[in-house]
Amino acid sequence: MTFTRHLLHRLWFWLTRSTREVPRQATLDAAVAPSPVMPQPPGPPVSRVERTLIVGVDFGTSSTKVIWQDLSDNHFEMFRWDPAEKGLAALLLPSAIVIRNDAIHCGLEDRNTSEGDIRLSSIKLCVLCQSSPSICQCRSSVAHHGVVRLPGHKIAYPASAFACLFLAYVFREVESRLVSQFPKDDLLLIWNIGCPMDHLDEDRKGEWERMAGLAVELHQELPNPVSTALLAEVSERLRSFVVPAEGDRDYSVQPEGLAAVKAFLESPHAESKTYAIVDVGAGTTEVSFFFNGGIMTEPGQPLRPSYLADSTQPVGGGRIDLELAQAWRCGTEDARRRKESGGSLPLIRSIGAICTQYERTCWEILKGHKLIAANDKRFDLFVIGGGGRLRPLQHALRGRPLPGGFIREGWRQLQPPRSLHDGLAIQRDYDLFANACGLASSVSWEYYPPGEVPPMPSPPPPKPKPDIDENYPK
């Protein structure tokens, strides 16, 4: 019922929005000069079909992946950024911003940068850095604590303004390709954008929703590259942007970790129990613990995840490669190739750091008294992300004891859905696309963030046993 109501709201919004007059900003309209439209002779009427697509956007640290689902037949497809490329390279868009002279380029490969360019290799990390300065690892001369100061500009701009331009580019590229793919259909696109759970409290979630919402508004107006002269206006519009009610918009921001396992949780294999996710990306690692269970006050309702604790740390595949390069005394590219070829690896600090993060996140559950029953502390573990393939890391996590009676029972591995087009081609690399696929899997997202999961009441103390030797009880 919730899914149907939510989808009807989205459909009503899409059908009625074309009749609304939306004032446009003059300066942004000027970014693209309108081309003259020549009158065409009327042709025979063509019947059009409405087609709803859910687009999952995994805005990753190093690369952005997009997978969409067609609700008419529930099949999934991966978005190819460069159809001329083969293999993984066609499916990964660098989450990078390059400032060249007075122009901002989105998604440029490192090999395409020139001398004098300013490169923000992970604009997502720059956004996260604003509220979590310890996560910074870009060593950029222009970006610091979520703020970017460009040479020759008197004012600084929030990193979220650059991320908004990047997302607008992503939305424009995806939408234009899908419109070309379905020329006879009226498309309804529903955008789901991933975000770390510990950045989904009310304040920071609002920032991500404003960033995504303004990108949706701008994506048809802005070219790539876009002039740096528009940064001040985009920054101001971000500050004043009002996020519409959930039923009145065609985009939402969802937790990345939940997205990766959403298909599993909605399958018959999911149980009412505790699950842990260790998502090792290129630049960050996110650890999540949640209890998948029914709501006691709403009997008969489906299982719903309740997040118990979550953390994001600046440790990922990139740092692992650097440490391996130092140990092997070679370049990072050579270290990455040696790592991916298999074989034994030297002991590196990043593996210990991820295991420590895993344990500390569990401690947060105990400190908050989120789980009491011993049976609820028996959990299954998912290790996902490109860095999660590392065998020594998997072995270290499997053998890591957790405090407070937590016991790992199962080791789960995600599989692509059978309806994913060309899914066999990426089955070995599916952990890179699990978040995007999960984001495209559903319109309905119901979960409790850590702040809404109350502590469990302490069990009542045991009743004192009578003393059988006491002849005269008082």
- Looking at residue 294, which CATH number applies to its domain? 3.30.420.40
Lowest mean pLDDT among 33-37, 290-294, 307-311: 33-37
More confident residue, 176 or 446: 176
Measure the CA–CA gap between 441 and 67, rounded to whole angstroms.
9
Q: Where are the beta strands (DSSP E) in 249-331?
A: 251-255, 273-280, 285-293, 304-313
- Spatial contact of 282 and 316, defined as CB atoms under 8 Å apart: yes
Residue 473 lies in a domain: no
| Highest mean predicted confidence (pLDDT) among 19-28, 195-204, 403-412 | 403-412
pLDDT of res. 21: 41
pLDDT, mean over the chain: 84
Lowest mean pLDDT among 41-50, 77-86, 340-349, 373-382: 41-50
Residue 304 lies in a domain: yes
Residue 138 lies in a domain: yes
Point out the domain boundary residue: 228, 254, 280: 254
pLDDT of res. 447: 83
Residue 7 lies in a domain: no
Q: Count other Cβ atoms within 10 Å, centred on residue 173.
A: 18
Same domain flag for 442 and 293: yes
Same domain flag for 175 and 77: yes
Measure the CA–CA gap between 323 and 332, rounded to whole angstroms.
9
What global pTM score does this model have? 0.82
The percentage of the chain sitting over the pLDDT mark of 70, rounded to a whole number, equals 83
pLDDT of res. 234: 95
- Spatial contact of 351 and 319, defined as CB atoms under 8 Å apart: no
- The stretch 286-306 carries a mean pLDDT of 72
Measure the CA–CA gap between 157 and 142, rounded to whole angstroms.
10
More confident residue, 229 or 414: 229
Point out the domain boundary residue: 203, 234, 254: 254
Number of domains in the chain: 2
Same domain flag for 272 and 378: yes
Write the DSSP string, 422-444: TGGGGGGGGGGTHHHHHHTS-S-
pLDDT of res. 44: 62
Write the DSSP string, 186-225: EEEEEEEEEE-GGG-SHHHHHHHHHHHHHHHHHTTT--SS
- The stretch 309-314 carries a mean pLDDT of 87
How many angstroms separate the first and last alpha carbons of the chain?
Answer: 60
Point out the domain boundary residue: 191, 224, 254: 254
- Spatial contact of 304 and 265, defined as CB atoms under 8 Å apart: no
Lowest mean pLDDT among 111-115, 214-218, 225-229: 111-115
pLDDT of res. 145: 80
Residue 236's contacts (CB-CB under 8 Å, 6 or more residues apart) are none
Q: What is the DSSP letter of 445?
A: -
Same domain flag for 243 and 305: no
| pLDDT over 70 at 418, yes or no | yes
pLDDT of res. 350: 93
Measure the CA–CA gap between 20 and 444, rounded to whole angstroms.
26
User: What band does 289 get if pLDDT is binned at 50, 70 and 90?
Assistant: very high
Provide the 3-class DSSP secondary structure of residue 58.
strand
Lowest mean pLDDT among 171-175, 314-318, 432-436: 314-318
| pLDDT over 90 at 403, yes or no | yes
Residue span of the structural domain in which 242 resides: 51-254
More confident residue, 385 or 470: 385
pLDDT of res. 414: 83
Provide the 3-class DSSP secondary structure of residue 181.
helix
| pLDDT over 90 at 467, yes or no | no
Same domain flag for 393 and 298: yes
| pLDDT over 80 at 201, yes or no | no
- Spatial contact of 107 and 123, defined as CB atoms under 8 Å apart: no
pLDDT of res. 139: 66
Residue 341 lies in a domain: yes
Measure the CA–CA gap between 38 and 456, rounded to whole angstroms.
68
- Spatial contact of 327 and 346, defined as CB atoms under 8 Å apart: yes
pLDDT of res. 27: 53
pLDDT of res. 18: 44
User: What band does 1 get if pLDDT is binned at 50, 70 and 90?
Assistant: very low
> Any idea of the CA torsion for 219, 224, 225, 229, to the nearest 10 degrees?
-20
Q: Count other Cβ atoms within 10 Å, centred on residue 414.
A: 18
pLDDT of res. 335: 87
69: closest CA among 353, 440, 341? 440
Provide the 3-class DSSP secondary structure of residue 381.
strand
Tally of CA atoms within 13 A in the half-sphere of 349 that contains its CB: 9
Same domain flag for 305 and 337: yes
pLDDT of res. 294: 61
pLDDT, one tens digit per residue, over 108-148 is 998 888 888 999 888 888 888 877 776 666 667 788 888 89
